[in-house]
Amino acid sequence: MLRLAIAVCVLATFALAQDFKFIIGSPVASQDFQFKSAAFVFRTEGCADPAKSQIGATAEGIVKGTRRSIALKVMASAKPGVYAVVQTWPAEGDWLVSLRGTCADANAGAIVPIRGTGFVRESSKFFSRPATDSEIDAALKALAQGDHK
């Protein structure tokens, strides 16, 4: 009986960890006019206490053949769990944003390619952990080749 209870708890924790994720959207989704110029907004899901989650983002890019990485400041909305990414990377080159987050013991990650007119939802990828360097490189290569909508 005890083993069954422990197994249930482990499965439940595992399920909760799987539920923590990012949802991305256009600035209109934030309902916060201060974000109207943001590249995109995002929210976390599956985190019992969003105020205690740790969120980070980097802009990863290739500019004239040189690989670059810029730490980003994620802007928090007054609404818990809703954030904005404002473009502080150069207009030149191909760029994507790598999001990573932790909530208790759960992790989440996302790769969000950026195009001049905004983010590319269809090419965005989501993970239950931060994206790996090879995943980021692959996404950048696809961007550079124009392999996105």
Partner 1 sequence: MVDLSEPLRQPANQIGAEIVAACRSGDRDAFRALYDFYKGRVYSVALYFFHGDQAAAGDVTQQVFLKLMTGIGQFRGDSLFSTWLYRLVVNACMDAARLRKSDATVSGRSWLESVAGPDSQERDYLRAQTATSVRAAVAALPPKFRIAVLLRYFEDLSYEEMAKALHCSMGTVASRLSRGHRILAEKLRGL
Partner 2 sequence: MFTRHVSRQLAAHIDGELSPQKAGNAARHIAQCADCRAEREQVKYGMDALDQLAPVAPPDAIWMSIEAALRRPESSVREWRLAFAASAILILSGAAYWAVTHRPGVRWEVLRTGGAPVVNQKRIVRGGSRIGAGEWIETDSESRARLQVGEIGSVEVGPNTRLRVVAARPGEHRLALARGEIRAKISAPPRLFFVDTGSGTAVDLGCEYTLVADDGGNDLLRVSKGWVSFQWKGLESLVPAGASCRTRPGVGPGIPYFEDAPERLKQALEIFGFEKAGDEALRTILTEARVRDTLTLWHLLWRVDVEDRARIYDRIASLTPVPAGVSREQALKLDRGTLSRWKDELAWTW
Q: How far is the CB of 75 from partner 1 (least distance, A)?
A: 8
Binding mask 49-88 for partner 1 (x = CB under 8 A): ------------------------x-x--x-------xxx
Q: What's the 3-state SS for the chain?
A: CHHHHHHHHHHHHHHHHHHCEEEEECHHHHCCHHHCCCCEEEEEECCCCHHHCEEEEEEEEEECCEEEEEEECCEECCCCCEEEECCCCCCCCEEEEEEEEEECCEEEEEEEEEECCEECHHHCEEECCCCCHHHHHHHHHHHHCCCCC
Binds partner 2 (CB under 8 A): choice among 16, 17, 23, 70 = 23
Note whether 18 binds partner 1 by CB under 8 A: no
Binds partner 2 (CB under 8 A): choice among 6, 15, 28, 144 = 28
Binding mask 72-111 for partner 2 (x = CB under 8 A): ------x---------------------------------
Residues near partner 2 (CB under 8 A) are: 23-29, 31, 33-34, 36-37, 43, 78, 117-118
Residues near partner 1 (CB under 8 A) are: 28, 31-34, 37, 73, 75, 78, 86-88
